[in-house]
Structure 1
Amino acid sequence: MQAEIIAVGTEILLGQITNTNSTYIARGLAELGIDSYYQTVVGDNRQRLSTVIEIAAQRNDLVILTGGLGPTKDDLTKQTLAHYLNVALVEDQAAMQKITAWFATNDKVMTANNRLQALYPAGAQPLTNHNGMAVGAFYQSENSADFLLLPGPPRELAVMFDSEAKPKLAAAYGEQAQIYSRVMRFYGISESELATRLQPLIDEQQAVTIAPYAKTNEVTLRLSAQAMTETAARGMIDKVDHQIKATIGPYFYGYGDDNSLVTTVINQMIAAKLSITAAESLTAGLFQSTIGSVSGVSAIFPGGFVTYANEAKHQLVNVPQAIIDAEGVVSEATAKAMASGAKQQLNTDVGISFTGVAGPGTLEGQPAGTVWIGLAYRDRPVKAKQYHFAGNRQQIRERSVMAGLDLLRHALNEDTDLKNNTNFCSLFACNSNFEQL
């Protein structure tokens, strides 16, 4: 079963409004197991609209038209469709009564063109508009594609599609295989490298589609399968999921459309009851602000330090002046001292530090993008890692924060105490966040 969505409106073509209707409908079709391979936008022109209707009807079982059902001169959708179907337009009496009652209640004169909103193609099933006046319609044909007419305003379309159209589509087409999806998230690998390393797997897949998407500072994979039941789809996706992890597992950090690296890491720390603090130089509090966006972080984050100046590093987190004098602030030794000093000052389980060159100029002979991140994790030896980030000043700061979160992620994953905690494992290690689209 295949459908095409046609959004009608010159204002969409001109970019004056965003076509959110097609997105909404496409999601609803997926829930019904109806494939949607084409989406078209056409202006308020009878000839061009007639052409796209004919093309869509030839290559689909169902054609959905949105917009152009109103009373103005450029609302031509139902008239054009009726002409294509060679049927008349008839009046829906309930819709007509609603329109006349509205004008009477609001003490306004109803012009003749408002009657157009109550018309629909003869032979179709009228669809009630609960949030407006223009009636919709579902037309089933024996010799051609079926047609669904929906209004353009999103608040009208959404209610009509959910309450009126979807039940009729389900009744008309019966049970269809549905699309189920899972989103995997990765940090530390580019989209091009991820695609290259997974190319053999992508090429051999038939039952499961693998779609990579580049996000800001990370990459996601959407695994999708079409099946009659969620259990069947889960089995297909699980197999591919395991193959992907076997190939690029170290970069994988979590599941879900709405997930993020900071959410994953901080929720793991909350579950493990590991407190954290930070000492930040070039990031100037950005790391602390980022973890502060996660609900519940107050349980593990008592506060931290912004140690931008050398004096602040010494005064606030006890970085020995000798280290600063001998090694400089852009150094492994300073990063380690900042992390351990912050941890000691607030008596937390974890201390993390950021020191480096955000740019645009150099510092201590180090180019912009040179960053050291220190990590004092529980009773483990303090360590620091050097990075070289590209980009402008803000991008370097943001990438530093992401790298710090990734250092924490690896520390948590390597913590044998956490792996032995069955409650922690049940929350994170075995999470699959399976989604039905």
Structure 2
Amino acid sequence: MKLTSAILFASAALPAALAQTWTDCNPLKKECPCNPGLGKTYSFDFTKGEGSDLFPPDKYFPVRYEKDGIHLPVKKKGDAPTIISTKYVLGGRLDCTLKIAPGKGIVSSLVFQSADLDEIDYEWIGSKPLEAQSNYFGKGNTETYNRGAIHPVKDTVNNFVKFSIDWTQEKITWYIDDVVVRTLTPADSAALYNSDNYYPQTPMQIKIGAWAAGDPSNADGVIEWSDGPIDYSKAPFDMVIQSLTITDYSKGATEYCYGDRSGSWGSIKISTDPSKGQTPSEETTTSAKPSKTTEPEEKTTSAAPKTTLTTSKADKETTTSEKEENTTSTKPKNTSTVEIAPAITQGLPDSIGGMDGPQNKGVSSTATATADAQAAETSAPTDNIPSSASSIKNAGLSLVVAAVFAALVL
């Protein structure tokens, strides 16, 4: 298969999409728990075993294990079956052999994502199996949509294809079947953002799955970007993961902690203490979603501007109270500067849909998994029920007699 270099893509006919990301706790805003570190190389072949300990399936969306791998099916509105790593890497490489989920409106994604909303990813639209989109973003910044690239690829619906992302302090490299299709350096990122702070440089976990981007409940831009709407009569739409290998370049790391709120690579404190970085999956056998240490605080929806043939380089980060924006689009070297509708990034799926967490009202909906957890924490009975004696006294004897009489008659 011959692959050309990355081509930045723009079209007035392709409307801008909405993009959103989600995080439990943004370390650039407040004190957050440290991230458990992988610190080694981990491989798993889903054709030979079920239930990877590092990549357990999300319990809210059942998966199937078949001879060709783990199947992540989108069956109905809101489905977003996902596998999410329970540990993080700081510098690393992911190799994943997969088939994308087919169908208009169905988006498959492979994502590196950090707690402060750095991201590197691949995304695929189910009705466009000959295209792969590579993207990145920094610190949730979505002011521009000029960072995405489209790469030709063989039919990814009917063929297993190996996609790889290699991430270091010096560069990010995207591969398709071990062929380099794109490279991004910090200098490239600084030119795109007009800042050197948005090159991904904080601990990342991996999220792989499919979601219903073309569902009618999503924004028009998202539906059009995903080539929706979805014809659910043709469901299920299965993404299939055959195997994966993830390497943490911070060898021996057991835990990553943010030393300050700069979000810089050098600010991350790395522990190699074996007692650090333990996850629930290492303590008990479970395929449930990794436990959360704090309630979700980052839910944003950002409408992308209309695509144009030129982009402003005077980009500055914008934030809203207790919310973060993110999207993905990238410009490789030596190509014309045009725009791509931003990729939809992964997070925790919910009942309405979306790989990036809450996927309603545009791209997202309320994260029901977290909502259920919050409900469980706040459902304890209250102590404000008045005593029956006090109520009777206040009502007066006549009301008591009337109530007794009424009860006898009934």
Normalising by structure 1, what TM-score?
A: 0.20
Normalising by structure 2, what TM-score?
A: 0.21
User: Which structure: greater helix fraction?
Assistant: 1
Q: Which of the pair has the greater relative contact order for Cα pairs under 8 Å at 6+ separation?
A: 2
Structure with the greater alpha carbon radius of gyration:
1
